[in-house]
Amino acid sequence: MSQNYKIGAGLGGVVLTAGAIAFGAFLSNRHQNRGYDDAANHTKRQPEGYNAQVGRSVTIRKPRAELFAFWSDFANLPQFMENVEAIEAGADGASTWRIKAPAGQAVAVKTEIASKKQDVLIAWRSVEDSEIETSGEVRFEDAPGKRGTRVSLMMAYDPPAGALGRAVAKLFLREPQVQARHDLKRFKMLMETGEIATSARTRDETRAAKQENG
């Protein structure tokens, strides 16, 4: 029972994590073009059983350095990441992400910085003994003309084996994509407007209030 529960929570965490964070990320082969056209790998039609990989780009009308600086401080990320409760910094660039899981649970994922290049990219991955195996990368490129910066978020994970794994993968491929998109849109709103749009009429109806009140 306790073992199953743990697995369940872990898998739920994967699902939520994916989008939320956009974290995770990123298969080492991201830049190895798998086809002959110029499209990003995560937009390719994926054969059954291929590692789950989601990605999304947005264009944000702000300078690359400003966006990179904001993202570099992981403590900022929960502001726009729906399912991340908190990110605590540890030693040597390691951090612990607290991810919301179903039924009011939370899952902790320990990550380390895999790669970081000033104003260009930040990549992270779960540490070896982590419950969830995942990796992520956010990349910043100048957009054409005065359009600002193109921000691309990639994340990947290795689906656990077996039927359960496939079920989770199926879930993962639907929800995380949506979460990644929403999180990136909120990041864009925060950077371009200083706030995150809500159509709530009262403070009690906001996303944040609902999350706090369960």
Partner 1 sequence: MMRALTWHGTNDVRVDTVSDPEIINPRDAIIKITSTAICGSDLHLYDGVIPGVAPGDVLGHEFMGEVVETGSASDLKKGQRVVVPFTISCGGCFHCKQQQYSACDNSNPAEKQDMSATLYGQPMAALFGYSHLTGGYSGGQAEYARVPFSDVGPIVVPDHLEDDQVLFLSDILPTGWMAAENADIQPDDTVAVWGCGPVGLFAIQSAIVMGASRVIAIDHYPNRLALAKQLGAEIIDFRETDVREALMEMSGGIGVDAVIDAVGMESHGFAIDNMFDVVKQKVGMGADRASALKQAILAVRFGGKVSIPGVYGGMTDKWPLGAMMEKGLQVRGGQTHVQKYTKPLLEKIEDGTLDTTFLISHRLPLEQAAEGYKNFKEQQNEWTKVILKPGMEN
Binding region for partner 1 (CB under 8 A): 59, 61, 147-148, 178, 181-183, 185-186, 188-189, 192-203, 206-207
CB of 58 to partner 1, least distance (A): 9
**Shortest spacing between CB 139 and partner 1, in angstroms:** 19
Minimum distance between the CB of residue 67 and partner 1, rounded to whole angstroms?
14
Closer to partner 1 by CB, 142 or 192: give it.
Answer: 192
- Complete DSSP assignment for the chain: -HHHHHHHHHHHHHHHHIIIII-SB--TTTTS-SSSSSS-GGGSPPPTTPPEEEEEEEEESS-HHHHHHHHHSGGGGGGT-TTEEEEEE-GGG-EEEEEE-STT-EEEEEEEEEEEETTTEEEEEE-TT-SS-EEEEEEEEEPSTTS-EEEEEEEEEPPPSHHHHHHHHHHHHHHHHHHHHHHHHHHHHHHHHSS-----SSGGGSHHHHHHT-
The nearer residue to partner 1, 144 or 162, going by C-beta atoms, is 144
Picking from 49, 68, 63, the residue whose alpha carbon sits closest to that of residue 116 is: 68
Of 117 and 174, nearer to partner 1 (C-beta) is: 174
CB of 42 to partner 1, least distance (A): 17
Nearer to partner 1, 38 or 204 (CB): 204
Compute the least distance from the CB of residue 192 to partner 1, in Å: 5
Which CB sits closer to partner 1, 94 or 189? 189
